[in-house]
Structure 1
Amino acid sequence: MTHALKQLMLWLGIEKNRTSHSEKVISAFGAMVGILVTILMTKWLSQHISISAGSELLIIASFGATAVLVFAVPHGALSQPWQVIAGHLISAAVGVTCQYLLGATPLAAAIAVGLAVGLMYYTRCIHPPGGATALNAVLGGAGITQLGYSYLLFPVLNNVIAILLVAIMFNALFHWRRYPVHLSRLVTEPVQLEVPSEDVSLTTEDFNAAIRELDSFVDLTEEGLSELLEKAKQNALLHIEHPEKISTGKFYSNGKIGHTWAVRRVIDEGKEGSKNDVIIYKNVAGNDLYNTGMLEREAFRQWAKFEVYEQNGRWLRLN
């Protein structure tokens, strides 16, 4: 029976929750405060602008889902400010346009959600509640549809501003929460290991321990984590030598993990084999971002594990 129950939980996607009880309470309280402030702020504005807003316009229901993301998963990629701002506004614009062209019909609703998803992909702002914002613009009733494109400003933009302000201030109260997540890179000091990182073999247990220490909900299953780790190891085994040639304009990574990872672009180089055979570089990603420096060619080659290129905001190894 126990085995059958475990299998059922796996099929249903029920994962072990590693967050502490205090973290759960903080997330719940944050979501409550965020929604309350958003409603009160919108209510106050509705009394001072020309729009006659009914109670249904105080807050869009999709912001309940946004509250879950920014307060329960503040470090998640789908929770960051650009995702919240652009995800809702782009989806709202798509929804209003579809309603205007096709009316409040099932076809218009379906097209609105589909287009919203596609546009969020291409604008790098995937935010699941955005689909509900687009749907609401089509099927939200007369109180919504009569607003036209002003729906983007009130209540959508107002809701966005309110909930983001609360998320930034609320998460700042807890040192292990950083929102936006980029703040963690600015305030967290790199951990100095006593042994070279090349001698460390990462395991699934190491990742699990790190997640538990982080004490924040991570939107990745154990199977997904294990698969990601395995693929990373396989990818690392493909190229274990340093690049033979260093060239101006190319990008190189030191192949590290975490805060010590860096990508450098070669901006100039001396004549190979001469006394001035040095590499002038600029850090373009990771540690010491935007700093410039100079190394002898062989020293730079030993620092560089492999050449990389950027694709859709991610750095990939050049095959």
Structure 2
Amino acid sequence: MLRKGIAAAQGRPIGRLGWLRGALGALIGIALAGVVTKLLAEGSAPWLVAPIGASAVLVFAVPASPLAQPWSVLGGNMISAAIGLALGHAIGAPWLAASLAVGLAIAVMTLARCLHPPGGACALLCALGVKTSGWTFAVLLMPFLPNVVLLILAGWAYNTLTGHPWPHRPHPAPALPPGTWAGTYEPADLDAVLESWDEVLDVDREDLDALFREVEQRVLTRWKAGGQ
């Protein structure tokens, strides 16, 4: 169901989360981050980092994803970059520093509740940057921090203006009348299924609940109308 929804959104240009909406948002976000950071940067300091492009895909194309929320973008990128720099300085072998940086970044992001896929790229880039470009912890302030903060600001403004309030707020689940088959579904049932699956789904539990409730509501309405 979720895959079909994504496929449908990818097939239309503007509609609800259409590809044109996401593309324009990413264009604006990256342009803002790049221009402002370049004005702040001194000399030959970098003014855009590659992982910010991956963050833009999440922020503007799937703004409801738990991986795309502001704390995930900020914490995931900055914490991972710091880990990459630390291990890049501490470990002489670049391949080992990069490997440990990505693994540790995933663990720390998960514990800090800011799991963000581009964070893995930040950890890798910074661990290797220490060896290839002589990066120090100053790179966190230029360009990582302004890139991330400006992208978050652009995401907040653009998503809100285009009808997708960000940070994402789960849709309220409609109340169903008691005494119907639809009313037998309890939140504990959903929790039990999620626990039995033992998988991390890229959707909030509250959004899943609201989705199922809406489907139940539509089925119940159809039954009442005699269109079983």
Distance 2:138 2:178 in 1: 54
Pick from 114, 123, 133 the counterpart of residue 125 of structure 1: 114
Task: Tell me how far 1:198 sits from its aligned partner.
Answer: 5.5
Equivalent residue, structure 2, for 1:92 = 81
Tell me the equivalent position of 1:178: 165
Alpha-carbon offset, residue 104 of structure 1: 5.8
Pairwise CA distance, 1:53: 3.2
Aligned partners of 1:103 and 1:138 also within 8 Å:
no
1:18 lines up with 2:8 in the alignment:
yes
How far apart are 1:21 and its partner, in Å?
2.6
User: How many residues matched?
Assistant: 185
More helix by share: 2
Q: Displacement of 1:174 after TM fit? A: 1.6
Q: Is the 8 A contact 1:99 1:145 kept in 2?
A: no
* SS of corresponding position for 1:140: helix
Identity %: 35
Q: CA deviation at 1:25?
A: 0.7
Report the equivalent of 2:43. Answer: 52
Q: CA deviation at 1:192?
A: 5.8
C-alpha separation between the residues in 1 aligned to 2:108 and 2:119? 11
How far the C-alpha of 1:173 sits from its partner, in A, is: 1.3
Deviates most, 130-139 or 14-23 = 14-23
Q: Partners in 2 of 1:137 and 1:53 — Cα distance?
A: 17
Amino acid at match of 1:181: H
Greater Rg by CA: 1
Q: Which residue does the alignment assign to 1:232?
A: 190
Alignment of 1:192-211 (within 5 A): 196=177, 199=180, 201=182
Q: Deviations over 1:96-116 (max 9, x none)?
A: 111111146111111111111
Q: Which has the higher strand share?
A: 1
Match of 1:153 in 2: 141
Contact 1:137 1:144 in 2 (8 A): no
Does 1 or 2 have the higher relative contact order (CA < 8 Å, sep 6+)? Answer: 2
How far the C-alpha of 1:142 sits from its partner, in A, is 6.3
Change (3 A) 1:173 1:105: same
Which structure 2 residue ranges, 5 or more long, are not aligned? 194-208, 214-228
- Map of 1:136-151 to 2, 5 A cutoff? 136-140=125-129, 144-146=133-135, 148-151=136-139
User: 1:192–1:180: structure 2 CA closer, same or farther, 3 Å change rule?
Assistant: closer
Aligned-residue RMSD, C-alpha: 2.9
Aligned-partner residue type, residue 52 of structure 1: G
TM, length-normalised to structure 2: 0.72
Kindly report structure 1 stretches of 4+ aligned residues shifted beyond 4 Å: 141-144, 190-193
Normalising by structure 1, what TM-score? Answer: 0.52
Call closer, same or farther: CA 1:197–1:158 in 2, change over 3 Å.
farther
Say if 2:37 and 2:47, in contact at 8 Å, map to a contact too: yes
Deviation of 1:18 after TM superposition, in Å, equals 2.1
Q: Identify if the C-alpha distance between structure 1 residues 166 and 119 changes in structure 2 by more than 3 Å, giving closer, same or farther.
A: same
- For 1:123-146, what per-residue CA distance to the aligned partner results, in whole angstroms no more than 9, with x for missing partners? 111000001011111223667533
Structure 1 residues 47-89: Cα deviation after superposition (integer angstroms, max 9, x where no partner): xxxx4334xx111100110000000000100000110111011
